[in-house]
Chain A
Amino acid sequence: MGDFLSQFGELFAAYDVPGAFWVNIQLTFWAAIFSLILGTVLALMRISPIASLQWAGATYVNILRNTPLTVIMTFLFLAVWTQLQISLSDDFAQNFFRFGVIGLTVYHAAFVCESIRSGVNTVPLGQAEAARAIGLSFLPAARLIILPQAFRGAIAPLGNTLIALLKNSTVVVAVSVSTETSTLMREMIESNANFIYAIFMIFAIGFAVLVIPIGLLTTFLSNRLAVRR
């Protein structure tokens, strides 16, 4: 047993496991910010009264939401980078990292959009009618009455999208970001097959440790801030 532990310790000294998780966290961080921006714009388009913008937003969401993320990543790598020769950075690693962020962003923006829209849908029509009845015009009604409630309704779905984003950040292996967790796990297992279960458990628990607090926090926040009706 002591032998096993010491070999195991050497194995983890030889590979940078926290570093790989750090790459996934960075990918998640940037993609979360950009997809929040893009998703909010899309949600605004979809709830605006302007038909052409509604159509454009709905088309974007329906296309991106139904495309597998792996296809998006492969497309970025083989079509945009290899075939169109569009490069985002002279540094190879940086280039693929940016493509990874773009892939995660365009995919998850569709889900952010739907989360925000579903938040707006949780606000009963009576709230808007009441706001107008007491004489608030469009902007004050939106700012004081509707959006605060809509934001609270969107917390739970947004948190779930963030969790999905963190887990999906492993898919950037398809755009050849080679420093993230799934690649490292594969390398480690391929050269240390006798530790396969232990290596998998380390990575699995690593993700559980990252994912479960986000889930608990969003549940806590969405219950705490929920509008009781």
Chain B
Amino acid sequence: MSQKSVLFDAPGPRARRRIAVGNVVGTLVVLGIAALVAVALANRGQFAADLWSPIFTTSAWQDYFIPGLQNTLRAAGYAVVGAVVFGLIFGSGRLARVGAVRWLSGVVVEFFRAVPVLLMMVFFWLLFGYNRISDDPAFLAVVIALILYNGSVIAELVRAGVGNLPKGQSEAGLAVGLTGGQVLRSIQLPQALIAMLPALVSQLVVVLKDTALGQIITYNELLRAAQIFGNGNSNNLQTLTIAALIFIIINWALTAVARWLSRYLSGRTSGATATGPGIGNPTAVAGKPGGPGNAIAATGDPSAT
């Protein structure tokens, strides 16, 4: 909001009057919509104390919300670690000099990026269940599906991160006598990894949101815990609102960290430090926070699929 807009010039006295009028009208419209929703909810008795009070008891948090949140964070934690490992392996695989390795990594990454996470979760859940691979097939299915999908996204982040480095970096490496692999490992990857950190944190938001898919395959995460609690008290609207709020607060904090990292790290690498869009596609990053100056990030990476 503080940034200079391309579309609008600095307003003169007349424009400033118009903006002020528009501001008042806009405020009224927004408040009006909020009031309409509130009145509609009140008419249906949704603000009644007995619908909200069960949420603010010790047992609600001790038995439902907190264990649910723990399960959510546990699945997200395992998934992130696995996804980073997967992403590094296949990301460097896509940059390998051997054609077959490059091709194989490309097929794996493109495949897992194209398949909906939910399909993978359902598949692994049933597979592990039939083969009795684990005591908790739902948890394992959530983690593995998230690793495969987000690992593929991170692999693309690695590749885009290396691709966005100035060409002089690898040329300088080759000029001092390093081999291609050494250039990748000791010059390009370290800079690319720093450059991709903000996008990686944004990807964490995607992982955390996608753990909620575990509800569909009966993994007892935050959403499912809230739903069970809500069913018991017939106040699903209220409990789901609380669950959504918990997700929003955590994700909003993660997004803030990503934005801060992006600013903080931009001086430490020759790559572009842009945050991810939060929907799981690194190459959707256009118009990075640094402004319109960076044409590489802005016009979209050619690898975007």
Contacts and interface: CB of A to CB of B under 8 A. Distances in A.
Interface of A: 47-56, 58, 62-63, 65-72, 74-75, 78-80, 82-84, 111, 114-115, 117-125, 127-128, 132, 138, 141-142, 146, 153-157, 159-161, 163-164, 167-168, 170-171, 173-174, 181-182, 185-186, 189-190, 193, 196, 200, 203-204, 207-208, 211-212, 215-216, 218-219, 222-223, 226-227, 229
A157 B223 contact: no
Contact of A67 (B23, B26, B244, B280): B244
A155 B283 CA distance: 12
B6 A186 contact: no
10 contacts: A53-B30, A71-B240, A75-B240, A120-B7, A146-B6, A156-B284, A167-B114, A173-B216, A207-B116, A223-B300
Contact of B248 (A67, A80, A185, A223): A67
A55 B22 CA distance: 13
A70 B287 contact: no
B126 interface: yes
A103 to B, nearest CB: 13
Main DSSP-derived SS at the B contact region: helix
B216 A70 contact: yes
Interface in B230-254: 230-231, 234-237, 240-241, 243-244, 247-248, 251-252
A212 B110 contact: yes
Chain B: interface size category: 35 or more
Given A75-B244, A124-B293, A138-B7, 13 more contacts: A52-B23, A53-B30, A55-B30, A65-B251, A70-B212, A70-B216, A84-B237, A121-B298, A173-B118, A200-B123, A207-B114, A207-B116, A212-B110
Interface of B: 1, 4-9, 11, 15, 19, 22-24, 26-27, 30, 41, 44, 46, 110-111, 113-120, 122-123, 126-127, 130, 205, 208-213, 215-216, 223, 227, 230-231, 234-237, 240-241, 243-244, 247-248, 251-252, 255, 277-281, 283-287, 291-293, 295, 298-300, 302-305
B240 to A, nearest CB: 5
Nearest to B149: A167
Nearest to B235: A83
A196 B252 contact: no
B26 A49 contact: no
B7 A47 contact: yes
Nearest to A128: B6
10 closest A-B pairs by beta carbon, nearest first, are: A121-B287, A215-B305, A156-B300, A118-B287, A68-B212, A66-B251, A79-B237, A52-B26, A160-B284, A78-B236
A195 to B, nearest CB: 12
Contacts of B213: 68, 70, 171
Contacts of A117: 287
Contacts of B299: 122, 153, 156, 222-223, 226-227, 229
Contacts of A132: 9
Contacts of A223: 299-300, 302
A69 B214 CA distance: 12
A68 B146 CA distance: 14
A229 B295 contact: yes
Contacts of A167: 114-117
B286 A78 contact: no
Given A122-B298, A215-B305, A78 B116 contact: no
Given A66-B252, A66-B255, A121-B287, A50 B302 contact: no
B164 to A, nearest CB: 14
Contacts of B244: 67, 71-72, 75
A190 B223 contact: no
B30 A52 contact: yes
B111 A83 contact: no
Nearest to A196: B127
Contact of A114 (B209, B212, B216, B277): B277
Contact of A161 (B127, B283, B284): B284
A196 B113 CA distance: 21
Contact of A146 (B7, B11, B120, B302): B7
Contact of A125 (B6, B283, B285): B6
B284 A65 contact: no
A93 B123 CA distance: 25
Contact of B209 (A68, A79, A186): A68
A222 B300 contact: yes
Contact of B5 (A49, A80, A173, A216): A49
Contacts of B280: 164
Contacts of A219: 300, 302-305
Contacts of B279: 111, 160-161, 164
Contacts of A55: 30
B115 A207 contact: yes
A51 B115 contact: no
